[in-house]
Amino acid sequence: MSTLAQWAPAVLALVLVASPGIWRLSRNTITIAHEGGHALVALLTGRRLEGIKLNSDTSGVTVSSGRPTGIAVVLMYLAGYVTPSLLGLGAAALVTAEQVRPLLWATVGLLAAMLIMIRNLFGVLSVVATGAVMFAVSWYATAEWQAAFALFVAWFLLLGGVRPVGELQRRRMRGRAPDSDADQLARITRVPGLFWVLVFATTTIGALLLGGRMLLPL
């Protein structure tokens, strides 16, 4: 792959994340990953998953039932903000290992599984549209285009995972996020919400640095 082909996906991902107007649209993909992280951890820790809603303002909510305290609910709230970055890190590892098609098909499979739990029309349309793009690339695109697209997906998740953490803290400082994941964790653990924001930030920035080291041209 040429140097241009390696850099172009990263530049495109940066534009989608850094441009305020475009970010309002592209952020929906990060929300899908965020809520998917909540849902997956809820299932893995034995909680009962009731459903997922994705809203047009890029917010979302995952509803599960079970004990209101304990390690399971802590892990569930922890998962949301870090999942896009961890998925991006996994995507970077697969791209580096030249496992592009498995990456695309795994993404389609995860989206299909998530679709079962979506409980509103906008959420259904968002997941279907994202899955359709992934399927079309995996089925119709050439190997070169698949590789470029997989690079873009990895960079977008890595970069897009960082920005929501900063947005979260700005909302918290203005008193506009009393029920955020960080504040829910603060109530459960009695550890300040800022600590959990720092955990999110450390994880997402660390994933970006590690994933970027994998993906940047040597």
Written as tens digits, the pLDDT of the chain (218 aa) is 556 677 899 999 999 999 989 999 999 999 999 999 999 999 999 999 999 999 999 999 999 999 888 999 999 999 999 999 999 999 999 999 999 999 999 999 999 999 999 999 999 999 999 999 999 999 999 999 999 999 999 999 999 999 999 999 999 999 999 999 999 999 999 999 999 999 999 999 999 999 999 998 64
DSSP string, 146-167: HHHHHHHHHHHHHHHTTHHHHH
Is residue 57 within 8 A of residue 72, CB to CB? The reply is no
Is residue 166 within 8 A of residue 182, CB to CB? The reply is no
- Cα–Cα distance between 47 and 44 in angstroms, integer? 8
Nearest to 149 by CA among 133, 127, 170: 133
Range of the domain at 57: 3-215
pLDDT at residue 51, as a whole number: 96
pLDDT at residue 216, as a whole number: 86
Q: Is pTM beyond 0.85 here?
A: yes
> How many domains does one find in the chain?
1
Nearest to 51 by CA among 107, 116, 108: 116
